[in-house]
Amino acid sequence: MDRRSWIVGTVRRFGPLLGLLILSAVLSVVSPYFLTWDNILNIFRQSAVNGLLALGQLLVILTAGIDLSVGSILGLSTVVFAMTVKSGWPTGVAFAAALSCGLALGLINGFLLTGLKLPHPFVSTLGMMNVARGGAMLLSGGFPIPDLPPSARYPGAGSVAGIPAPVVVMLATCGVFAFLLRQTVFGRDVYAIGGNPEASRLAGIPVAARLNAVYGLSGLLAGLAALLLAGRMNAGFPLAGAGAELDSIAAVIIGGASFFGGVGTVFGTLIGALIIAVLRNGLNLLNVSSHWQMIVIGTVIIWAVWVDVLRRRGAR
């Protein structure tokens, strides 16, 4: 039993990383361009937005919940950001506006769950997904809001010491959230709530307050991702992030988190986001059509969930 649980633990911890390395090795053999510095930066840059959304999604999934609204919140936040900056406010205010927009909608998600006690976050965040997208269309009239000033574009398009700014933002945020989950009482509570909400409540954990914070943070991260995406696209775009919630869920699950809650890491999620980016990038380099890419990524998701089921069965 000891040895088996050690193997299970190791696979859980390093399985996704191993997958990423094998995938990269294969791609670097079939495509000489794959392992160039430019392409690697490219992959990281492409994974930044999804990486941030996935961090929020990770928190939510750790509590055995789900957040379907992050893509729409991202879209709305890009619009809010672009409109604020275009109407003459300083860039800093526009940053704050986008982040507040994400945080506020996330907190509403939390309130729907803990205040109105809607049965499952699937329902409440599905509602929010539509509301936020509709709001983005309404505010923007359905059109992109292009041509942002350079200072506003910096988080998405700038660079720090040769490293693209979005990559720096994503890695820094990963660091903060790894710390939050691993080293703080809040993180401890999040894992406990996902593992057993009733036991957590009976152990005196303020479950509702923690869930509100979790959904709030998920929204906030969508707002942060909006800054990167708007900068990269040089526009606020009401349709931005359509379907992004699904990519973020995929990254979390591929990264070894359990859909049943209580299990998952920031590192795994980062690897999950990178795996998705590498698959896209590699298949592009190989000129595989985007339709096939969807099929491949879908298969990987199903496989990852199946691995989770096997692990749970093995744990019995």
Partner 1 sequence: MTAPLLAGRGIRKSFGAAPVLRDVTFEVRPGEVHVLIGANGAGKSTLVKILYGALRPELGDLYWKDTHIPGGDLRHTAARGVAYIPQEIEVIPHLSLTENLFLGNPVRRAGWLVDHTAQAAAAASVLARVGIRRDLETKARDLSVAEQQLLMIGRALVRRVEVVILDEPTASLAPAEVENLFAVIRQLRESGVGILYISHRLDEIRRIGDRVSVLRGGALVFTGPASTPKQDLIRQMIGHDVEPGQARMPVTAAPALELRHGNLGARFRDVSFTAYSGEVLAFTGLIGAGRTSLARALFGAEPGFIGELRVHGEVARFDSPQQAIARGLALLTENPKEQGLVLTADVATNISLPNASHFSRWAWLDHRKETAVTTDYARKLAVDPPDVRRLVRLLSGGNQQKVVIARWLLSGARILLFDEPTRGIDIGAKEQVYDWIRRLAGEGKTVLLFSSETEEVLRLADRILVMRLGHITAEFPAAEATEEKILRAAFS
10 lies in the binding site for partner 1 (CB under 8 A): no
Task: Name beta bridge partners: 174.
Answer: none
Using the minimum distance from each CB to partner 1, give the nearer residue, 4 or 120. 4
Least Å from the CB of residue 251 to partner 1: 20
- Cβ contact 99:78 at 8 Å: no
Q: For 221, list phi and psi in degrees, rounded to 5.
A: -65, -35
Least Å from the CB of residue 243 to partner 1: 30
Using the minimum distance from each CB to partner 1, give the nearer residue, 154 or 186. 186
**Among 10, 36, 130, 183, contact with partner 1 (rule: CB under 8 A):** 183
One-letter amino acid for residue 121 of the chain: P
116 lies in the binding site for partner 1 (CB under 8 A): no
205 lies in the binding site for partner 1 (CB under 8 A): yes
200-229 as b/e: b if 16+ CB within 10 A: beeeebebbebbbbbbbbbbbbbbbbbbbb
119 lies in the binding site for partner 1 (CB under 8 A): no
**Among 14, 111, 186, 259, contact with partner 1 (rule: CB under 8 A):** 186
DSSP, residue by residue, 260-298 = TSS---HHHHHHHHHHHHHHHHHHHHTT--HHHHHHHHH
Sole residue written with tokens 């775009």: 237
Using the minimum distance from each CB to partner 1, give the nearer residue, 22 or 199. 199
188 lies in the binding site for partner 1 (CB under 8 A): yes
> By CB under 8 A, which span of 99-107, 178-186, 230-238, 295-303 interacts with partner 1?
178-186
Sole residue written with tokens 């931005």: 240
Q: Which residues bind partner 1 (CB under 8 A)?
A: 1, 5, 183-189, 191-192, 194-196, 198-206, 258, 261-263, 315
